[in-house]
């Protein structure tokens, strides 16, 4: 692992010295994982491809900020996650954003089988998205990564460069806030 990090640092230094072709190695090596990270959040292959391209552009422009204290791929995936989350936040696409979470919240429900249930499901999805949007950014990011990107807590820790305890605490606080926001709806 240390050799791989040292090699990544050498390639980064070559790119910073003007060897733009050296960056192509990173693109070829990391494109599958970057697209996968974007896909887990965006749930749209075309948009994930666009987000991956934006990720590589942002990474190239920010290459001087790569410290070399971890794998280049992890640094790149952090950028990809931020790009994908920004796209989700910008579009406010209720159906794509919360499809998975609502399905998990309503096990056994079949879409389209009952118009009334479908309408209630749509209201629930809107309420969930609105509640997530009210979370502080750090909590919102962890909730999105956990439930929309299906990342484990360890993966979230790696992607966000935060200690595992911080990730757990942000997720717990975010879920408590969501519960507090959404519970009054279920009582009414």
Looking at 19-163, list the stretches that DSSP marks H as alpha helix, in order from N- to C-terminal side: 20-42, 45-61, 72-91, 94-105, 115-133, 137-147, 153-160
Q: What is the mean pLDDT of residues 107-120?
A: 53
Higher pLDDT, 76 or 151: 76
The DSSP symbol for 68 reads: S
pLDDT at 120: 56
For residue 47, pLDDT over 50 is answered with yes
Separation between Cα atoms, residue 181 and residue 22, nearest integer Å? 49
- What is the rounded (10 degree) CA torsion for 101, 102, 104, 109? -160
For residue 157, pLDDT over 90 is answered with no
pLDDT at 99: 45
The DSSP symbol for 111 reads: T
Q: Can you read off the two tokens belonging to residue 35? A: 């697209």
pLDDT in tens, 50-106: 999 999 999 999 999 998 877 888 889 889 988 987 887 676 544 434 444 444 444
Q: Which domains does the chain have, with CATH numbers?
A: 1-90 (1.10.1740.10), 92-188 (1.10.10.10)
Separation between Cα atoms, residue 76 and residue 71, nearest integer Å? 9
pLDDT in tens, 159-168: 777 899 999 9
Taking residue 98's Cβ as centre, other Cβ atoms within 10 Å add up to: 22
pLDDT in tens, 128-150: 878 888 899 889 888 887 877 66
Confidence category of residue 118, pLDDT binned at 50, 70, 90: low
In the chain, % of residues over pLDDT 70: 78
Confidence category of residue 15, pLDDT binned at 50, 70, 90: very high
Contacts of 90 (CB under 8 A, 6+ apart): none
The DSSP symbol for 107 reads: T
pTM of model > 0.75: no
């Amino acid at each position: 692992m240390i050799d791989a990090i040292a090699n990544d640092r050498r390639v980064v230094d070559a790119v910073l010295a003007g060897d733009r072709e050296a960056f192509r190695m990173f693109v070829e090596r990391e494109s599958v994982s970057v697209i996968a990270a974007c896909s887990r959040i965006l749930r749209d292959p075309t948009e994930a491809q666009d987000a991956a391209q934006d990720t590589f552009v942002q990474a190239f422009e920010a290459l001087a900020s790569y410290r070399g204290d971890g794998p280049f791929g992890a640094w790149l995936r952090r950028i990809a996650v931020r790009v994908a989350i920004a796209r989700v936040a910008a579009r406010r696409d209720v159906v794509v954003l919360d499809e998975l979470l609502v399905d998990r919240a309503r096990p056994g429900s079949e879409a389209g089988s009952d118009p009334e249930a479908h309408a209630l499901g749509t209201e629930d999805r809107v309420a969930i998205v609105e509640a997530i949007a009210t979370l502080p950014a750090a909590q919102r990011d962890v909730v999105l990564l956990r439930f929309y990107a299906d990342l484990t807590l360890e993966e979230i820790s790696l992607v966000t460069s935060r200690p595992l305890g911080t990730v757990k605490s942000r997720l717990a606080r975010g879920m408590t806030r969501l519960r507090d926001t959404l519970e009054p709806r279920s009582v009414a």
